[in-house]
């Protein structure tokens, strides 16, 4: 699943290619992607609108259109965008096509078909689902609020940091990396994290997410940004995907375990259970 750095990179690329494009037509080839309203209503509401800007709220892409209309797009497991100029016909696993008036188009491709599109407006997109319960990204998270949330959680810190109502933008890859950077075992109960360690989590998370964004994200498994462009942060991962390889600090083997069903990589020697 694309995490915050990967979504940021997709956002940057979308702004480069589709900003100020006028939507001539939308083609939807699987109705389940469009949430809460009919496909016909979705297409009708967006026809002739112009994409003013693309932003993101955590892992959600937000298309800001004319007439204060908003499209909220979540890539889920395998979603990706491809832009073509001149326009191309639908390719394999393309399910939503935005046709622009300059003979270019944007294809939403999703092999797993888990992606979602919500139509909102400028006044309600932050106060209704799916964005209304999101926390903040680490950079903008208040340490007291974050620490108080951790104190109420008896789940593992690995599971807790994946909860987007606690902190936004950390998925499986970056939680593993942040916990290694802070020397915390993923099995540590969240309410045992000290305030000092909570502050360190926020600082290291910001540092890691920003570095990954600058390097185009982590291309692991199937992730690519717009038009199949790969990132390179996977070359700098310290523990994630490193099962059996020596820890960069102590040289003992990195292990892989399951934490609440999620594959989790860590160093038993360097990462301590608090």
- C-alpha pair distances (Å), 168 with each of 4, 103, 181, 186: 8, 37, 18, 18
Q: Which two tokens stand for residue 153?
A: 């959680």
Q: Is residue 130 part of a domain?
A: no
Whether the predicted pLDDT of 135 surpasses 50: yes
Mean of per-residue pLDDT scores for the chain = 94
pTM above 0.85, yes or no: yes
Contacts 24+ apart (CB under 8 A), 86-92: 90/27, 90/29
CATH number where 171 lies: 1.10.8.50
Model confidence band, residue 217 (pLDDT cutoffs 50, 70, 90): confident
Do 19 and 98 belong to one domain?
yes
Helices and strands, counts by H and E, the chain: 6, 10
Q: What pLDDT score does 28 carry?
A: 98
Do 107 and 217 belong to one domain?
no
Lowest-confidence region among 26-30, 118-122, 155-159, 169-173: 169-173
pLDDT, average across residues 13-24: 97
Do 151 and 62 belong to one domain?
no
pLDDT in tens, 227-272: 566 667 777 799 999 999 999 999 999 999 999 999 999 999 999 9
Percent of the chain with pLDDT over 70: 95
Q: Is residue 245 part of a domain?
A: yes
Instruction: Write out the residue range of the structural domain in which residue 30 sits.
Output: 4-121
Tell me how many domains the chain contains: 2
Place of tokens 């208040």: 142
Residues with catalytic function: 2-3, 59, 262
Neighbour tally for 211: CB within 10 Å: 13
**Residue 63 · residue 45 · CB < 8 Å:** no
Which of these three, 87, 121, 155, is where a domain ends? 121
Model confidence band, residue 223 (pLDDT cutoffs 50, 70, 90): very low
Whether the predicted pLDDT of 47 surpasses 60: yes
Q: What pLDDT score does 66 carry?
A: 98
Q: What pLDDT score does 172 carry?
A: 92
Do 109 and 178 belong to one domain?
no
Whether the predicted pLDDT of 137 surpasses 50: yes
């Amino acid at each position: 699943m694309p995490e915050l750095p990967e979504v940021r990179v997709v956002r940057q690329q979308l702004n480069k290619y589709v900003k100020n494009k006028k939507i001539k037509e939308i083609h939807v080839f699987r109705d389940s992607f469009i949430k809460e309203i009919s496909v016909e209503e979705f297409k009708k509401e967006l026809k002739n609108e112009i994409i003013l800007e693309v932003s993101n709220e955590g892992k959600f892409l937000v298309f800001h259109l004319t007439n204060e209309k908003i499209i909220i797009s979540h890539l889920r497991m395998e979603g990706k965008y491809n832009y073509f100029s001149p326009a191309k016909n639908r390719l394999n696993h393309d399910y939503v096509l935005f046709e622009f008036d300059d003979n270019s188009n944007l294809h939403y491709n999703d092999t797993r078909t888990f992606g979602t599109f919500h139509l909102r407006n400028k006044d309600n997109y932050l106060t209704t689902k799916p964005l209304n319960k999101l926390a903040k990204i680490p950079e903008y998270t208040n340490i007291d609020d974050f620490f108080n949330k951790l104190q109420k959680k008896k789940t593992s810190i690995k599971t807790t940091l994946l909860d987007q109502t606690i902190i936004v933008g950390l998925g499986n890859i970056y939680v593993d990396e942040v916990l290694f950077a802070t020397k915390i075992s993923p099995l540590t109960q969240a309410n045992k994290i000290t305030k000092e360690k909570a502050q360190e989590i926020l600082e290291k998370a910001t540092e890691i997410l920003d570095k990954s964004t600058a390097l185009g994200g982590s291309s692991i498994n199937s992730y690519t940004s717009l038009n199949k462009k790969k990132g390179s942060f996977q070359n700098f991962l310290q523990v994630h995907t490193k099962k059996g390889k020596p820890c960069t600090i102590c040289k003992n083997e990195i292990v892989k375990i399951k934490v609440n069903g999620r594959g989790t990589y860590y160093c038993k020697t360097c990462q301590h259970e608090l």
